[in-house]
Amino acid sequence: MKDESLKNQVALVTGSSSGLGKAVAIYLGKAGAKVAVNYHSNEEGANDTVKQIKDAGGEAFAIQADVADEESVENLFDKVFSTYNNLDILVSNAGIQKDAPFTEMKLKDWRLVLNTILDGAFLCSQVAVRYFQKRGIITDISNSAGKIIFMSSVHQDIPWAGHINYATAKGGLTEFMRTLSQEVANQKIRVNSIAPGAIKTDINKDVWSDEEKKKKLLELIPYNRLGKPEDVAEAALWLASDKSEYVNGTTIFVDGGMSLYPGFIGNG
Ligand code: BGC
């Protein structure tokens, strides 16, 4: 049976030219949502996401924007509204890693990661929430006035030496998500996060493409395999649909058990 759980809905997925964002955009598109495929610099990747959605019978278009820049975000949403005249789902996914030992980390890389993850979440969800509040619920479409999904990480909880900018941003994103949900849930706006573990994408290619490093990484995953972007996309689809209507202000971990302190297996 064809999945039409998001029929007539409009979704914006930031950072959907590759990796998790790409898989999420394709899943939402296949479930019937019209998808705005945002990218920062990888136009080719975004066009491919659009193509995959269209090939599956869906609707999508690609649009460049820097989620950390206020004007760019305003243009992004203007384009979404002028193209699809609506918005139901925001997946605030755009993220970046700029790793370095703490004492060597440059302020510019600290800021780039925090700005992309936190300013991006702030700017995009602010426009989305204002719109959802103004529009309210359209019962034919969804029981909620709007849905926001943040792409977090297991590192919202697990400290990560050598990645202090990233772990700090994801930790902050968690309290941002929870506070926003507390603030807008009574308007039937649903806000949640997904916390992926080690999913095989470009962001961690240097680890999974090296046999030694991959072996060590697998020791951190009780389920003993790397995640696939589709594992995360399944969770996003569920959070975007009314099937999860009563789920508010929470994080779904999609991590093969990475957050279960696997170092304690046979230890401690
Ligand atoms: C990071 C990946 C990492 C994973 C598990 C993610 O948030 O982006 O690079 O493999 O967490 O540590």
In whole angstroms, how far apart are CA 78 and each of 12, 21, 84, 103? 12, 21, 10, 41
Q: Is residue 235 part of a domain?
A: yes
Return the closest-CA partner of residue 167 out of 249, 216, 105. 105
Among 27, 84, 131, 166, the active-site one is 166
For residue 24, the enclosing domain spans 10-256
Report the nearest-CA residue for atom 3 of ligand 1. 198
**pLDDT value, residue 241:** 98
Ligand 1 atom with least separation from CA of 153: 7
Mean pLDDT of the chain: 97
Place of tokens 């759980």: 5
| CB distance 74 to 67 below 8 Å | no
CB 5 within 8 A of CB 237: yes
pLDDT at 42 over 70: yes
Residue 175, pLDDT score: 98
Residue 3 lies in a domain: no
Residue 217 near ligand 1, beta carbon < 6 Å? no
pLDDT over threshold 70, residue 29:
yes
Is 189 domain-assigned?
A: yes
For the segment 245-253, the average pLDDT, to the nearest whole number, is 98
Q: Which residue owns the Cα nearest ligand 1 atom 7?
A: 153
State in Å: Cα 204 to ligand 1 middle: 7
Q: Is the CB of 141 under 6 A from ligand 1?
A: no
Can you tell me which atom of ligand 1 is nearest the CA of 160? 12
Average pLDDT estimate for 66-78: 98
Report if residue 48 sits inside a domain. Answer: yes
Cβ(69)–Cβ(38) under 8 Å? no
Q: pLDDT category, 1, cuts 50, 70, 90? A: low
How many structural domains are present in the chain? 1
Q: Do the domain assignments include residue 263?
A: no
pTM of the model: 0.98
Residue 187 inside a domain? The answer is yes
Best mutation site among 98, 113, 153, 223 for ligand 1 pocket (most ligand atoms within 8 Å of CB): 153
Cβ burial of 234 (10 Å; 0-12, 13-18, 19+) is: middle
List the Cα angle 241/243/244 in 5-degree steps: 85
8 and 140 Cβ atoms separated by less than 8 Å:
yes
Is 170 within the bounds of a domain? yes
pLDDT digits (tens, 9 = 90+) for 43-61: 999 999 999 999 999 999 9
CATH of the domain at 203: 3.40.50.720
Ligand 1, atom 12: closest residue by C-alpha: 198
Q: How far is the CA of 232 from the centre of ligand 1 (A)?
A: 13
Torsion angles phi and psi, residue 143, rounded to 5: -80, -10
Residue nearest to atom 8 of ligand 1 (CA): 203
State what percent of residues in the chain have pLDDT above 90.
Answer: 99
Report residue 3's pLDDT band, with 50, 70 and 90 as the boundaries. Answer: confident
Q: How far is the CA of 166 from the centre of ligand 1 (A)?
A: 9
Q: Is the C-beta atom of 198 inside 6 A of ligand 1?
A: yes
Overall average pLDDT of the 195-216 stretch: 97
pLDDT at residue 136 is higher than 90: yes
SS3 state at 199: strand
Confirm or reject: Cβ of 203 under 6 Å from ligand 1: yes
Q: What is the pLDDT of residue 208?
A: 97
> Is residue 166 among the annotated active site residues?
yes
pLDDT of residue 34: 98
The predicted-structure confidence for 76-134, as pLDDT tens digits, reads as follows 999 999 999 999 999 999 999 999 999 999 999 999 999 999 999 999 999 999 999 99
- What are the tens digits of pLDDT across the range 140-181? 999 999 999 999 999 999 999 999 999 999 999 999 999 999
Domain membership of residue 138 (yes or no) is yes
